[in-house]
């Protein structure tokens, strides 16, 4: 699964949280999810999961500079989430200042519609005398921790309190003898999350989707983004199909992350963000699709059924948004674009001709 959501029943602490974090999962309200692809303003991006190796970590010049800059403020750690009126007011002030869509409220961000917390959460508060000016929430496992959110008073923007909070969480986790701190993901070519790359770059690691291994970030190659590889491979196959005069469409899939929705969670919806649709668009049948899997390094010919017909009036020529799909059959796999094109153009074309005769 490229996008998945789980609902912890009673608690998610200790080694269980460590296991999720190591596989590239992250907290969302009172759930925990993973995804490898993101969509912002109608554009697709990769989610590259990050962690800081605390066993190797040494204080950086940036961290020392921020500690000196903010030395006059009081820092307080609490083994719980308090959500006082001060916190709620501060979050709303922060939310109205930032240039992105933040959660509607701090309560919604941390709890959704639940009334208890299944995570072992800590809170770090920063005060200017008696005034709360910044807060960070993070969760603890047994050998790892993960940053959940940071918010601060925009009037103190020159103090870089968001980044300072991240360093405070990292330092706290290291003092607790933990091995890793997980700040979530960054998205190549989408600068909103790039600040995470500057936290502790010499000790930063990323989860390589193709091998499912954590590697030093210094080995990360921007040109080998999974989404780019998927696109290039499908374009190569499209060229082969065009040469054989086989009708097809290369499309982005609008609902690749549908399984992250509470209403669709667990239904196993189709989660590839881009695919080749064999033949023409037709809502009345489930046409075969071709995807490229960067993990197996293979093309896969599959059949998807329509889970829900959306009757979308805004059909986009380069985007499939008329139906919610679910993979029901796996027909063929190969590493070769030529081999896949040969199988499709011969086998599927014969099937269609037989049905139409």
Domain CATH code at residue 99: 3.40.630.30
Residues 213 and 335 in one domain: no
Could you tell me if 32 and 58 are in contact, meaning their C-beta atoms sit under 8 angstroms apart?
Answer: no
In the predicted model, what is the mean pLDDT of residues 150-175? 96
Residues 65 and 167 in one domain: yes
List Cα–Cα distances, 220 to 115, 225, 298, in angstroms. 40, 9, 22
Interhelix angle for 161-175 vs 61-69, to 10°?
110
In the predicted model, what is the mean pLDDT of residues 63-89? 94
Residues 269 and 352 in one domain: yes
Residues 230 and 205 in one domain: no
Which residues, listed in sequence order, are joined to residue 285 by a DSSP beta bridge? none
Residues 69 and 195 in one domain: yes
- With bands split at pLDDT 50, 70 and 90, how would you rate the model's confidence at 75? very high
DSSP 187-202: BTTBGGGGGGGGSSGG
Residues 67 and 205 in one domain: yes
Domain residues for 35? 3-221
Q: Say what the pLDDT of residue 114 is.
A: 81
Buried b or exposed e, range 194-223, using 16+ CB within 10 angstroms = eebbebbeebbbbbbbeeeebeebeebeee
Residues 203 and 267 in one domain: no
Looking at the chain, the whole-number percentage of residues with pLDDT higher than 90 is: 66
Q: Say what the pLDDT of residue 322 is.
A: 85
**103-107, 142-146, 200-204, 283-287 — which one is most confidently predicted on average?**
142-146
Model pLDDT for residues 25-61, shown as the tens digit of each residue: 999 999 999 999 998 888 899 999 999 999 999 988 8
Q: Is the pLDDT of residue 7 over 70?
A: yes
Residues 323 and 194 in one domain: no
The rounded distance, in Å, linking the Cα atoms of 181 and 174 is 8
Count up the domains in the chain and report the number.
2
Rounded to two decimals, the pTM is: 0.89
The two tokens of residue 128 are: 């200017």
Domain boundary among 221, 255, 276: 221
Residues 242 and 171 in one domain: no
Residues 210 and 236 in one domain: no
Domain boundary among 177, 201, 221: 221
Q: Say what the pLDDT of residue 159 is.
A: 96
- With bands split at pLDDT 50, 70 and 90, how would you rate the model's confidence at 179? very high
Residues 197 and 261 in one domain: no
Write phi, then psi, for 230 (nearest 5 degrees).
-55, -50
Residues 276 and 201 in one domain: no
């Amino acid at each position: 699964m490229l996008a998945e959501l789980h609902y912890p029943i009673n608690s998610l602490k200790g080694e269980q949280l460590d296991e999720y974090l190591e596989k590239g999962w992250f907290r969302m309200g009172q759930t925990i999810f993973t995804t490898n692809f993101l969509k912002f303003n109608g554009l697709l991006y990769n989610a590259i999961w990050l962690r800081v190796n605390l066993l190797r970590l040494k204080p950086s010049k940036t961290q020392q500079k921020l500690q000196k800059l903010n030395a006059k403020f009081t820092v307080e750690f609490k083994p719980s989430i308090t959500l006082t009126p001060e916190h709620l007011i501060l979050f709303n002030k922060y939310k109205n200042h930032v240039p992105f869509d933040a959660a509607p409220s701090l309560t919604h961000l941390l709890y959704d519609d639940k009334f208890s917390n299944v995570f072992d959460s800590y809170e770090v508060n920063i005060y200017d005398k008696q005034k709360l000016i910044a807060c960070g929430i993070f969760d603890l496992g047994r050998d790892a921790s993960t940053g959940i959110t940071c918010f601060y008073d925009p009037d103190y923007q020159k103090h870089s309190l968001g980044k300072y909070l991240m360093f405070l969480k990292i330092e706290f986790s290291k003092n607790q003898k933990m091995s890793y701190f997980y700040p979530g993901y960054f998205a190549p070519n989408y600068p909103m999350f790039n600040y995470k790359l500057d936290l502790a770059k010499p000790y930063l690691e990323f989860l390589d989707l193709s091998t499912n291994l954590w590697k030093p970030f210094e080995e990360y190659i921007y040109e080998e983004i999974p989404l780019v590889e998927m696109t290039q491979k499908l374009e190569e196959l499209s060229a082969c199909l065009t040469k054989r005069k086989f009708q097809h469409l290369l499309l982005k899939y609008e609902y690749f992350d549908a399984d992250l929705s509470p209403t669709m969670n667990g239904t196993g919806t189709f989660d590839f963000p881009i695919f080749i649709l064999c033949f023409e668009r037709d809502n009345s049948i489930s046409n075969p699709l071709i995807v490229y899997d960067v993990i197996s390094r293979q093309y896969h010919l599959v059949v998807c059924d329509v889970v829900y017909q959306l009757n979308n009036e805004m059909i986009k020529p380069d985007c499939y948004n008329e139906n919610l799909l679910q993979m029901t059959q796996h027909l063929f796999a190969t590493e070769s674009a030529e081999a896949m094109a040969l199988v499709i153009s011969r086998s599927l074309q014969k099937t269609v001709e037989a049905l139409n005769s």
